[in-house]
Amino acid sequence: MTGAASPDPVADILSEARRLIAGALERGIAVRLLGGAGIALHAHGEVPAPLAREYRDLDFVVSRTSRSAWRDMLQAFGYTPDVQFNTLHGHQRLLHFDRVNTRQLDTFVGAFQMSHSLDLNDRIAGPGPSLSPADLLLTKLQVVEINRKDLTDILLLLAHHSVGTGGPEGIDADRLGSVLGGDWGWYTTVTANLNRLDVVLHEPGLDDALRIRLTSQIAGLRLAAESAPRSLRWRLRGLVGRRLPWYDLPEEVTDAD
């Protein structure tokens, strides 16, 4: 049984994310939060001031079988669909707008596709409103043209979750290795971004204890990347190297109105 349609979206973006996830859970819709807001809801404890930021939009991933039900729920919950975009791209991505709070809501269907593609269809079920820490990390580390907010989000995730065997509060090194060891392009982008994290760590603002912890966490990520078994596909693509592009540069999707 599904509940009545909820009122318009609320102003606080993290409260709104929880509202949507609760509505989806009530309706049996397989959907999880990702992006900066997804990482914020995985932060347990105080957020260090240098890693705090505002979140402007919401990003979700929905299972392919739940796509239609999620689309209908968003409209019932006060969201306006981008009809043209959804008609053209709705099999892999949906776009909606919160006109009350001037926010955009992106939904990826089954897979996260930006600079690289990450299949998530079988990883959506699970506890909590967000994807697992390892999957959240991968969605951020895959950004070729990474910016400061992405780096900040990654550091916040690493501040609260240890690289290791996984579990609800751990970053599963095996999950990272399976993705990076199977695709040279993924490996190349992620290891380049780990170097960028090192630069941010040496900027003023972080206390010494946090800097030491984050340095250790990044070392753990490098170990996961380097020690993962490499597929034949990885090795063949590595022979080509950077002579050919190994990533996509997706266009920014915004409100057309």
pTM (predicted TM-score) = 0.93
The mean pLDDT value of the chain amounts to 92
Q: How many domains does the chain have?
A: 1
What mean pLDDT is predicted for residues 26-43? Answer: 94
Please list the alpha-helical segments (H only) found in the chain.
13-26, 35-40, 67-76, 83-89, 133-141, 148-160, 173-180, 184-201, 208-227, 232-240
Residue at 9: amino acid letter: P
Select the more confidently predicted residue: 255 or 141: 141
* Contact criterion met (CB below 8 Å) for 166 and 176: no
Spacing of C-alpha 93 from chain mean position: 14
Residue 253 falls inside a structural domain:
no
Whether 3 shows a pLDDT value over 70: the answer reads no
Mean pLDDT of 43-56: 88
Are 125 and 7 a contacting pair, CB within 8 Å? no
- The more confidently predicted of residues 145 and 255 is 145
Count Cβ atoms within 10 A of the Cβ of residue 199 and give its class: 0-12 exposed, 13-18 middle, 19 or more buried. Answer: exposed
In a domain, 7, yes or no: no
What pLDDT band is residue 46 in, cutting at 50, 70 and 90?
confident
The reply to whether 254 falls in a domain is no
Does 251 map to a domain? no
pLDDT digits (tens, 9 = 90+) for 210-240: 999 999 999 999 999 999 999 999 999 999 9
User: pLDDT grade, residue 254 (50/70/90)?
Assistant: low
257 falls within a domain? no
pLDDT at 209: 93
pLDDT class of 253 with cuts at 50, 70, 90: low
For 144-160, what is the mean pLDDT? 95
Amino acid at 41: L
Q: How confident is the model at residue 44 (pLDDT cuts 50, 70, 90)?
A: confident
255 within domain boundaries: no
- Asked if residue 79 is part of any domain, the answer here is yes
More confident residue, 174 or 255: 174
Domain encompassing residue 120: 13-243
**Average of pLDDT values for 61-87?**
97
Query: Would you state the structure tokens that stand for residue 65, as one six-digit string?
Result: 């079988």
CATH number for 153? 3.30.460.40
pLDDT class of 256 with cuts at 50, 70, 90: very low
pLDDT digits (tens, 9 = 90+) for 5-20: 567 899 999 999 999 9
Confidence band (pLDDT; 50, 70, 90) for 4?
Answer: low
Q: What is the pLDDT of residues 99-117, one digit of tens each?
A: 999 999 999 999 999 999 9
Q: Looking at residue 128, what is its pLDDT?
A: 84
pLDDT at 205 over 50: yes
pLDDT of residue 189: 98
Residue 249 inside a domain? The answer is no
Task: Please give the single-letter amino acid code of residue 245.
Answer: P
pLDDT given at position 158: 95
Closest of 164, 166, 183 to residue 223, by C-alpha: 164
